[in-house]
Amino acid sequence: MKPIPNSIAAQAGELAEWRQDFHRHPELGYQEQRTAAKVAERLDGFGLDGVETGIGGTGVIGVLHGRGGPGGAAIMLRADMDALPIEEATGLPHASTNPGTMHACGHDGHTTMLLGAAKYLAGTRNFDGTVYFCFQPAEEGGAGAKAMLDDGLFERYRPRAVYGMHNWPGLPLGRFAVKDGPVLAAASQFDITITGSGGHAAAPHETRDPIVAGAHLVTALQTIVSRIVDPLQPAVLSVTRFEAGSAYNVIPGSALLAGTIRSFDDDVQRQIIVEMERHCAQTAAAFGVEIEIDRGCKPYPPTLNDATQADFTEAVMRETFGDANVQRGHPPTMAGEDFSFFAREVPGCYVIIGNGDSAPLHHPAYDFNDEAAPLGVAYWARLVEKALPGEVA
Ligand SMILES: [Zn+2]
Ligand SMILES: [Zn+2]
């Protein structure tokens, strides 16, 4: 185990300042103008070899060559910049100043740690090859990673591997974990519109009631995971919205259902969707209503860690933090992550870093743990030096 470089430990105060500033000014997906501008300005200030902004909306790439200059292998480190539509309830001095918007997933910390790594590596350049520092927009449901890819990211900056890191409440501070295979679930959203014909509640025979049809549909959808999907395959289908009606004595003309589908396998995801479409069509026929399903909301593939890259990151962690602080394997979660879009293109590995005993992610009392930031920077720095070994002076 090598000690964490003094210059990284000495960054702690500055990292906390950057992080708390991002925290005060959270921005939702694709609106990360201020955050992206700060990121680009800092990267420039560190003396990177290139900074490109506006990729996939508000995405930023910093390019840093090692001692040998351009050429050689390239890897990409990725952070996410967006916040969530949550009213913050931490009461902290650095709480959000943007009402109804909050960094409740720690992307302020992720952005800060990657900036810290860029600063350190730009100063030392103790590697050979090229590092792309990727700051992506809209991780929280907006598929910002896909937007960057659609904007030609990997045509201009083609890494041989991509790495991600997420803070994890409940994992002790100072601890890291990595697993190979499925880490996070495929996630897709759906909207279902049921159109019947409304009328007087006292004359249901003159209507086609979308509420009754919707209630049957919700029940029927529950049988997909319990009766159709292989029980050895994890899957979730949750109906999270059911909106209809506005009076005691009126049967409404339409109803809206919405929800999410999660699994670790693209085939299972497709199977669920086919079954949903069948249930929608057959329920429509049975109740004499129209049912439309819209899945236009950017499905996320499952996040699958490459086994070789998982071995590699585990070795980086053990070397940097000691065996006692590194865990191989952790339970997968049904949460989704759009890092999956990058990891589908090139081998990838997404690891987790302990946030200590904090409120959970997406909770109004959550806060990123500033003490974790120098550790995250040390992980990134060692990873680069080990992935792209150069002449050590
Ligand atoms: Zn999140
Ligand atoms: Zn997140």
C-alpha 333 – ligand 2 centre gap (Å) = 13
Determine the average pLDDT of the residues in 115-131.
97
Q: What is the pLDDT of residues 134-177, one digit of tens each?
A: 999 999 989 999 999 999 999 999 999 999 999 999 999 999 99
The CA 351 to ligand 2 mean position distance, Å, reads: 12
**Rounded distance from Cα 139 to ligand 2 centre (Å):** 7
On whether both 41 and 135 belong to a single domain, the answer is yes
In this structure, the strands spanning 161-168 and 348-354 are parallel
Residue 366 domain-assigned (yes or no): yes
pTM of the model: 0.90
Ligand nearest to C-alpha 167: 2
Q: Say how many Å lie between the CA of residue 210 and the centre of ligand 2.
A: 37
Question: Do 163 and 40 share a structural domain?
Answer: yes
**Residue closest to 306 by CA, chosen among 87, 110, 160:** 160
Do 355 and 167 meet the contact criterion of CB atoms below 8 Å apart?
yes
Note whether 149 and 16 are same-domain residues. Answer: yes
Of 265, 294, 323, which residue sits at a domain end?
A: 294
Tell whether 301 is covered by a domain. no
**Number of Cβ within a 10 Å radius of residue 147:** 23
CATH number of domain containing 56:
3.40.630.10
Whether 392 maps to a domain, the answer reads no
d(CA 74, CA 64) in angstroms, rounded, equals 10
Cα(363) to centroid(ligand 1), Å: 10
CATH of the domain at 274: 3.30.70.360
* Token output for 50: 């290139």
78 has a pLDDT exceeding 70: yes
Residue 390 in this model has a pLDDT that exceeds 80: no
Report the number of distinct structural domains present in the chain.
Answer: 2
Determine the distance separating the centroid of ligand 1 and the alpha carbon of 236, expressed in angstroms. 18
51 within some domain? yes
Averaged pLDDT score across all residues of the chain: 96
Taking only the tens place, the pLDDT of each residue in 26-40 is 999 999 999 999 999
Whether residue 269 is contained in a domain is answered as yes
319 is a domain residue:
yes
> Band of the pLDDT at 391, cuts 50, 70, 90?
low
Residues whose beta carbons lie less than 5 angstroms from ion ligand 1: 105
For residues 159 and 18, membership in a common domain is answered with yes
3-state secondary structure of 377: helix
Do 116 and 211 lie in one domain? The reply is no
Residue 393 falls inside a structural domain: no
Q: How far is the CA of 191 from the centre of ligand 1 (A)?
A: 21
> Domain check: are 48 and 172 in the same one?
yes
Q: Report if residue 1 sits inside a domain.
A: no
At 184 the pLDDT is 94
pLDDT 10s digits, 299-317 = 899 999 999 999 999 999 9
Q: Are residues 109 and 211 in the same domain?
A: no
Residues 169 and 196 in one domain: no
- Cα-to-centroid distance, 177 and ligand 1 (Å): 18
Distance from C-alpha of 289 to C-alpha of 274, rounded to nearest angstrom: 20
214 CA to centre of ligand 2 in angstroms: 33
Is there a single domain that holds both residue 234 and residue 288? yes
321 and 283 in a common domain = no
- Distance of CA 78 from the midpoint of ligand 1 (Å): 15
Encoding tokens for residue 342?
């990058």
Regarding whether 119 and 176 lie in a shared domain, the answer is yes
Of 245, 273, 294, the residue at which a domain comes to its end is 294
pLDDT in tens, 239-293: 999 999 999 999 999 999 999 999 999 899 999 999 999 999 999 999 999 999 9
| CA-angle at 111, arms to 340 and 170, nearest 5° | 75
Domain boundary among 294, 320, 335: 294
Domain around 276? 185-294
Q: Is the pLDDT of residue 386 over 80?
A: yes
Average pLDDT over residues 68-93: 96
Ligand 1 mean position to 222 CA, how many Å?
Answer: 26
How far does residue 380's CA lie from ligand 2's centre (Å)? 18
**Number of Cβ atoms within 10 Å of the Cβ of 13:** 10
SS3 124: helix
Residue 393's pLDDT band (cuts 50, 70, 90): very low
In this structure, are 28 and 147 located in the same domain?
yes
Checking if the pLDDT of 326 tops 80, the result is yes
Considering only CA atoms, which of 39, 54, 53, 52 is closest in space to residue 117?
Answer: 39
338 Cα–ligand 1 center, Å: 10
